[in-house]
Amino acid sequence: VSAPLDELRAKLTPGAVLEPADGLERYERSVLFDRRGQAAFAVRPKTVDDVRSVVRWAVRHRVRLVAQGANSGLVDAGLPDASGEMGVLSLELCRERLDIDPLDRTVTASAGWDLDGVNDRLAAHGLRVPVDVGSNPLIGGMISTNTGGTNVVRYGDVRRLTRGVQVVVADEDATVLDLLAAVRKNNAGLDLKQLFIGAAGTLGIVTAATMDVAVLPRQRAVAWVGVSGDRGAFALLQVLERRAGELLTSFEMMSGRMLQLRARHKPDLRQPFPLDAIPPLALLIELSSTIDPASGLDVAQLLAEIIGAHAADGTVIDAVFGPPEQMWAMRHGIDETAAEGYQFWVDVCFARSAIADFRARFDELLDARYPGWEFIDLGHYGDGGLHAAGMYPFRLGREPPPEEVEALRGEVYELVSELGGSFSAEHGIGPSNAAYYHAYTPTDVQRLSGRLKAVFDPHGILGVTRFGTAAPG
Amino acid sequence: VSAPLDELRAKLTPGAVLEPADGLERYERSVLFDRRGQAAFAVRPKTVDDVRSVVRWAVRHRVRLVAQGANSGLVDAGLPDASGEMGVLSLELCRERLDIDPLDRTVTASAGWDLDGVNDRLAAHGLRVPVDVGSNPLIGGMISTNTGGTNVVRYGDVRRLTRGVQVVVADEDATVLDLLAAVRKNNAGLDLKQLFIGAAGTLGIVTAATMDVAVLPRQRAVAWVGVSGDRGAFALLQVLERRAGELLTSFEMMSGRMLQLRARHKPDLRQPFPLDAIPPLALLIELSSTIDPASGLDVAQLLAEIIGAHAADGTVIDAVFGPPEQMWAMRHGIDETAAEGYQFWVDVCFARSAIADFRARFDELLDARYPGWEFIDLGHYGDGGLHAAGMYPFRLGREPPPEEVEALRGEVYELVSELGGSFSAEHGIGPSNAAYYHAYTPTDVQRLSGRLKAVFDPHGILGVTRFGTAAPG
């Protein structure tokens, strides 16, 4: 970057600006994957005013910025590209505000607060941000990603939990939009804040958010249920929604093949089912409630009762009950399957009624035309979400030809589109899947998205993801 | 209108276009209030293609259109203005689609379907759109208004229930944006559909929507609880959320003064409390559940138990339990208070922690400087919503001076703003409150809203509400 970094440095606290000589690796590298970009610099504002200074400077000098949180995203939307010309605007030190309103059940936090940190403080009030993910994202990253997780069936995604946001947009003045109004209902005009949720930092820099928080449950019950297939799984889901809908907190699926792989690769991990009787599909089901068991509701008993009654239809093979932490621990170790083979994953979502079809057709596709490939998946069946992969086992002794991977990937996305699904359910859009955004988003939607982008970021300096055909940059 | 209506007529089915000679009164008049506009014509498309024909024609001839549903809105956003130059685009005949997916718990309906009609069909599946309002709006109107109601604390507003929309925007080609994807999670790009929810038909014509629907409850319990004031009311709300949060379906407030007025004006209506012991605040509380009482949970018993235990704090004056329909019926007849005096109402929403302050200060304002005026209100305390009014009783024998009404109105909106509230919680923005949008919405938000408007409706032909300073027309 030829831009005068000294000018930027002068506006911020000492140490806010880091250059390659200072070591930028942690701002260039994804936490989970072996992927990286190259940054011209990293800047770490502490306040909203700092953020404005950075954006104003960047607009003036036409320096491209990528907003970054905990770097735990899965599509690289928070990493600089490979040009070496982008600056990383890390929100990690932006922790000015943390206000809890227990009566209103909200928390207002600056973008740099981490989820665990916020939840630690909320716990003192018997509250929490009801988002369960396998990482510890920053609040700003959660807003920009519209994080999902394993509790969406009960509490919704981050969009649903978000009452307001504060954003710095990329016009000459780096205007702050204060859309933090802490109200549950606000119909006083266009709801601009919605645009910034899940926008991957491309329309503005999210500097704070107000979120609804949930009351900690008084009782939880968790079970692993083995079923004979999708028909049985969705029948059980419907029964649960009709007999205990408001208590259903998670309804997760793991395929039998996934459990087998996990057992083979990590024999020391505890398994929900005997190794010689792993069912075709395993469901991890949680009911939870704020109601005291003394009031007559015992969620463990209710869960056992519903599963027991449903078992009469013949689709339930086995059910295992136990302490919630122990049951959930058996879901971990999935990442270990990466050691089993080359994998390409899709993060998709369907109407629940279309999931079975997608799974069957993905599997058939591999069987019919991609020799050696295996289908593995797990999902958030309660909300229609599915993480599915084609895996080419290492035991085959070679990498799959790149053109075969690309062909398969294309066919799978085509199938997602045909079945009316979303090709990015919860991970968002970033360099790792942007090609599919351009291929599968209607042209008109892309065109209008580009025009929206231009309203908030007229010079196209924000983000690595390019939404819309008209996006400058 | 000098535009060639014959050209429009030729594109649609016979009878689709109505002119003043045909009688346009029902398209010009608000259902609830004595307010009206004047239409050049009304057009009633039956299909999405029809809507496109209308919009394309209107863009070409620069004819301004206002989309209209059941005409049950409260801010006149669906009425033509007084110019006599606007056309009413009524969606009442647009009923092409009604698809129910019971497994996915969704309904996809064309804009012209009415709420009661949709719910009748959903009932066969044990489902319903969980929106309770005192009218029967059309689906398109509900999306464009982001309807609230008495169940928001449990199910959220229409925005939260909306998975997708189909919209015709006002460019030359009348582009259809198909954003109906029936998925619970979709992070595949900017979430354009959000912009059309609550936009009062100013960005496009909503032609269909996919909404989440809820399982009909298996048990309900409703109580009227008299409390000594706001402290007691919110203490009870917190206890309910912490002991039965997931069952709380309504937490409504009616002030003692409101109940007194209602009793005085309609002595035949049944009262929840003895007339000589009307409490300062009355709460209408509903718990409901999909859980069978045979499973150990009796919601009536739980509600009585929680209220009983809480009564020990001294703020509970009286509690009345009874069949849900009977209890809810006692909330009706509020409109009758209109016969008591001149009233101006505000539809506001606050963080719950700010409601008590707003009520007290509104009341004090009247006492201190507006002789004769009385404060009346009722609200959706669970979600922070409040409908509050200054009333000038007819018994004073004269109308309040208009300048006094305007001064008071201004002071009340100022107070709403000072306390961080929304000045339009659920009714939206239309001619009847647009002045407050312009006065209390930050200039930057208005400016950017105007630019968003221009993206979807570049010629400014849609709607009567003008969001944004840059709105053309």
pLDDT of B2 higher than 60: no
Looking at beta carbons, which residues of chain A come within 8 Å of B246?
Answer: 246-247, 289-291
Mind listing the pLDDT tens digit for each residue in B17-65? 999 999 999 999 988 777 899 999 999 999 999 999 999 999 999 999 9
**Contact check, Cβ <8 Å, A351/B101:** yes
B113 in A contact zone (CB under 8 Å): no
How far is it, in rounded angstroms, from Cα A466 to Cα A473? Answer: 9
Which residue in this structure is represented by tokens 């007849």?
B333
H/E element, A446: helix A443-456
> What pLDDT is recorded for position B350?
96
Mean pLDDT of B357-367: 98
* Closest partner CB to B185 (pick from A191, A353, A426): A426
Residue of B nearest to A167 (CA): B445
How would residue A138 be classed by pLDDT, with cut points 50, 70 and 90? very high
* Closest partner CB to B445 (pick from A192, A291, A421): A192
Mean pLDDT of A352-376: 97
> What pLDDT is recorded for position A20?
96
How far is it, in rounded angstroms, from Cα A390 to Cα A72? Answer: 23
CA distances from B250 to A32, B128, B134, B155 (A): 44, 16, 15, 10
pLDDT of B123 higher than 90: yes
**Contact check, Cβ <8 Å, A160/B157:** no
Chain A residues 29-58 with a CB less than 8 Å from chain B: none
**Contact check, Cβ <8 Å, B429/A188:** yes
**Contact in structure between B291 and B219 (CB atoms under 8 Å):** yes
**Contact check, Cβ <8 Å, B445/A177:** yes
Phi first, then psi, for residue B453 (nearest 5°) are -50, -45
B427 in A contact zone (CB under 8 Å): yes
Q: How far is B296 from chain A (nearest CA, A)?
A: 5
Locate all alpha helices (DSSP H) within B313-442, ordered by sequence.
324-329, 352-369, 402-418, 434-440
pLDDT of A373 higher than 50: yes
Spatial CB neighbours of B107, under 8 Å, sequence gap ≥ 6: B98, B99, B100, B101, B118, B122, B127, B129, B210, B211, B213
Assess: ipTM above 0.90: yes
Residue of A nearest to B305 (CA): A295
For residue A465, give the 3-state DSSP assignment: coil
pLDDT of A129 higher than 50: yes
Pairing of strands B65-68, B86-90: parallel
**Contact check, Cβ <8 Å, B302/A296:** yes
How would residue A338 be classed by pLDDT, with cut points 50, 70 and 90? confident
* Closest partner CB to B175 (pick from A241, A302, A444): A444
A85 DSSP 8-state letter = -
* CB-count burial class (<10 Å; 0-12, 13-18, 19+) for A62: exposed
* Closest partner CB to B160 (pick from A160, A444, A452): A160
* Closest partner CB to A243 (pick from B185, B214, B291): B291
pLDDT of B470 higher than 50: no
> What pLDDT is recorded for position A161?
97
Under 8 Å CB pairs connecting chains A and B tally to: 279
> What pLDDT is recorded for position A336?
67
A191 in B contact zone (CB under 8 Å): yes
CA distances from B227 to A105, B213, B286, B314, B354 (A): 22, 34, 16, 9, 18
pLDDT of B243 higher than 50: yes
Q: How far is A178 from chain B (nearest CA, A)?
A: 9
**Contact in structure between B337 and B389 (CB atoms under 8 Å):** no
Percentage of the residues of chain B whose pLDDT score is greater than 90: 87
A456 in B contact zone (CB under 8 Å): yes
pLDDT of A332 higher than 90: no
Mind listing the pLDDT tens digit for each residue in A241-290? 999 999 999 999 999 999 998 888 878 888 899 999 999 999 999 999 99
CA distances from A393 to A345, A396, A397, A428, B144 (A): 14, 6, 8, 28, 51
**Contact in structure between B362 and B376 (CB atoms under 8 Å):** no
Interhelix angle for A299-310 vs A230-244, to 10°? Answer: 140
A331 in B contact zone (CB under 8 Å): no
* CB-count burial class (<10 Å; 0-12, 13-18, 19+) for A236: buried
B184 in A contact zone (CB under 8 Å): yes
Summary mean pLDDT of chain B: 94
Mind listing the pLDDT tens digit for each residue in A2-29? 568 999 999 999 999 999 999 999 999 9
Looking at beta carbons, which residues of chain B come within 8 Å of A422?
Answer: 181, 183, 185-188
How far is it, in rounded angstroms, from Cα B247 to Cα B241? Answer: 8
* Closest partner CB to A188 (pick from B184, B245, B441): B441
DSSP string, B349-380: E--HHHHHHHHHHHHHHHHHH-TT-EEEEEEE
Question: What would the two tokens of residue B9 be?
Answer: 């007529």
The closest alpha carbon to B366, from B390, B350, B347, B345, belongs to: B390
Residue of B nearest to A231 (CA): B103
B189 in A contact zone (CB under 8 Å): yes
**Contact in structure between A32 and A134 (CB atoms under 8 Å):** no
Question: What would the two tokens of residue B78 be?
Answer: 């669906």
> What pLDDT is recorded for position B473?
35
Q: Which residues pair with B422 in a beta bridge?
A: B349
Phi first, then psi, for residue A373 (nearest 5°) are -75, 145
pLDDT of A65 higher than 60: yes
How far is it, in rounded angstroms, from Cα A383 to Cα A396? Answer: 35
Question: Best interface-test mutation with B: which of A246, A249, A288, A447 has the largest number of B CBs within 10 A?
Answer: A246
**Contact in structure between A460 and A453 (CB atoms under 8 Å):** yes
The vertex-A102 CA angle with A50 and B145, nearest 5°, equals 80
Looking at beta carbons, which residues of chain A come within 8 Å of B191?
Answer: 146, 159, 194-195, 197-198
* Closest partner CB to B383 (pick from A185, A383, A467): A185
Mean pLDDT of B115-141: 97
Chain A residues 340-359 with a CB less than 8 Å from chain B: 349-353
pLDDT of B333 higher than 70: no
Phi first, then psi, for residue B27 (nearest 5°) are -90, -5
pLDDT of A449 higher than 60: yes
Question: What would the two tokens of residue B192 be?
Answer: 């354009």
pLDDT of A472 higher than 50: no
Question: What would the two tokens of residue B239 be?
Answer: 């206890």
Mind listing the pLDDT tens digit for each residue in B135-160? 999 999 999 999 999 999 999 999 99
pLDDT of B471 higher than 50: no
Which residue in this structure is represented by tokens 């409901």?
B288
How would residue B331 be classed by pLDDT, with cut points 50, 70 and 90? confident
Report how far apart the first and last C-alpha atoms of chain B are (Å, whole number): 15
The vertex-A463 CA angle with A458 and A465, nearest 5°, equals 105
**Contact in structure between B146 and B140 (CB atoms under 8 Å):** no
Question: Best interface-test mutation with B: which of A154, A190, A237, A290 has the largest number of B CBs within 10 A?
Answer: A190
The closest alpha carbon to B451, from A77, A177, A55, A182, belongs to: A177
How would residue B78 be classed by pLDDT, with cut points 50, 70 and 90? very high
Q: Of A282-286, A310-314, A328-332, A429-433, which one has max mean pLDDT?
A: A282-286
**Contact check, Cβ <8 Å, B429/A104:** no
A383 in B contact zone (CB under 8 Å): yes
Mean pLDDT of A379-404: 95
pLDDT of A341 higher than 80: yes
How would residue B269 be classed by pLDDT, with cut points 50, 70 and 90? confident
* Closest partner CB to B246 (pick from A192, A247, A301): A247
Query: Residues of A361-382 as b/e, b for ≥16 C-beta within 10 angstroms?
Result: ebbebbeeebeebbbbbbbbbb
Locate all alpha helices (DSSP H) within A124-177, ordered by sequence.
139-145, 152-155, 158-161
Mind listing the pLDDT tens digit for each residue in A72-91? 999 999 999 999 999 999 99
B125 in A contact zone (CB under 8 Å): no
pLDDT of B89 higher than 60: yes
> What pLDDT is recorded for position A63?
97
Mind listing the pLDDT tens digit for each residue in A144-193? 999 999 999 999 999 999 999 999 999 999 999 999 977 899 999 999 99
Helix and strand counts by DSSP (H, E) for chain A: 16, 18
